[in-house]
Amino acid sequence: MSEGRSSKAERTATAVRALARGEVIVIHDENHPEAGGYFCCSATRIDADTVNFMVTHGRGLICLAMSETRMQRLSVPMMVGDTPYARRSTFGASIEASRGVTTGISAADRAATILAASAADATPDDIVMPGHVFPILVRTGGVLIRGGLPEAALDLGTMADGGDAVAMCAILDEAGELAGPEMLASVARGFQLELVAVADVVADRLRNELVVERVAERVIESGLGQDDDGGDGGTYRAIVYRNDLDGHEHVALVAGELDGDEPVSVRVHSQCLTGDVLGSTRCDCGDQLALALRRIADEGRGAIIYMHQEGRGIGLANKIRAYALQDEGRDTVEANLELGFKEDLRDYGITAQIIKDLGIRNVRLLTNNPQKVDGLSLYGVDVIERAQIQAPPHADNIAYLRTKREKLGHLLDDRHLGGRDGDE
């Protein structure tokens, strides 16, 4: 088991146990640090001291993230309709407990409101509006539908106690702005609280739940990967998958029978319109795809998982923008960073689900990229072997290949790169 997989799985499990004990945790979105971070605790275990702690040290609004089913059951209206801003939370009208409170603003009163609204038998009669607790609607599916902080918090709460409501409070810095990653980590350390990321929750759910479905299947032939002996790319079962996260469609090209314990050759290939379709020589994507098809055709058993994640996940438009920056002298990594992205945004959770659905137990991964091995292992795929798949370079992609090796850690042989690496 890789260190990354162990730490992510352990963080989620530890956070769930803390919530089950009624403790506060800190949750943040490491991929979107501008979203800040929140204190979070079980709604059914909250008390006045917990509310006071969150208000004193977080200084944000006390919110109650709840399922859309609970929101409807309590007849809480939305403050606005569906928003076009995908990363903004959907707030309901503020609420107050209908009994057992005074002004509603004290820590004890807000705790009473949260307990009343999150009770298993809660009804509209148990709350009044407006009030001093702010409901946030979480759509069915949680982080598998929207990877936001309220969704991750509610998913953790559900794992902890099976409930469908969790209390949250934004953490502000000394200037009154949303706290950044360093401060959030410091707050968690200072109060000995568990710190968990949205990505950890997504990874946990993808490890344990199936969110892809087969939507089409037929046999196709490939003309790629032709060799000097007249062999072509082979015949495959093309299986189209659609995932519930974003509706994207991906294709698995399957040769032979994949069950059993014998390792299966698998190529995880990210869509590259310019290289795969247009034959661009500024990358090695099309060449690698052809090599993988040829190798699997020769073996008579294996799979190409063709993923809808153009440009290492940044999309086609941004990939072309990155090309323009490369024409001005940036390398492939520098271009991504200048556009505001990480070096590689790809995630392999959906890929892992497809591999599992195909019944592949042990993977011989056709890749030069060790991050793919770690990425699949994170989601429970047993990669027992990595097989190099390196095509001869073109004159205009040697610098690109060197950057992949030097900055992204790709395992590429010197003899194929020429120039300053020598021509031994």
Give the HSE-up count for residue 165: Cα atoms under 13 Å, Cβ half-sphere.
28
**Pairwise pLDDT comparison (51 vs 84), residue with the higher score:** 51
Write down the pLDDT at residue 274: 80
Banded pLDDT at 346 (limits 50, 70, 90): low
Does the pTM exceed 0.85?
no
- pLDDT tens digits along 105-124: 999 999 999 999 999 999 99
Nearest to 8, CA basis, from 196, 188, 164, 172: 196
Q: Which residues are part of the catalytic machinery?
A: 344, 346
Domain 3-207 falls under CATH 3.30.2350.10: no
Banded pLDDT at 102 (limits 50, 70, 90): very high
Distances (CA, A) of 112 to 35, 103, 168: 28, 12, 15
SS3 state of residue 314:
coil
Q: Quick check: 397 and 275 in contact, CB under 8 A? A: no
Same CATH topology for 3-207 and 210-309+346-421: the answer is no
Average pLDDT score over residue span 125-137: 96
Task: Give the integer Cα–Cα distance in Å for 309 and 273.
Answer: 11
Q: What percent of the chain has pLDDT over 90?
A: 48
Average pLDDT score over residue span 386-393: 80
- pLDDT tens digits along 160-182: 988 899 999 999 999 999 999 99
- pLDDT tens digits along 302-340: 999 998 877 555 667 776 777 677 667 676 667 656 666
Number of other CB atoms surrounding residue 185 within 10 Å: 15
Q: Quick check: 354 and 252 in contact, CB under 8 A? A: yes
Domain boundaries, the chain: 3-207, 210-309+346-421
Residue 127 reports pLDDT greater than 90: yes
Banded pLDDT at 6 (limits 50, 70, 90): very low
Architecture of the CATH domain 210-309+346-421: 3-Layer(aba) Sandwich (3.40)
**Pairwise pLDDT comparison (274 vs 254), residue with the higher score:** 254
Task: Give the integer Cα–Cα distance in Å for 38 and 195.
Answer: 10
Nearest to 25, CA basis, from 7, 45, 5: 45
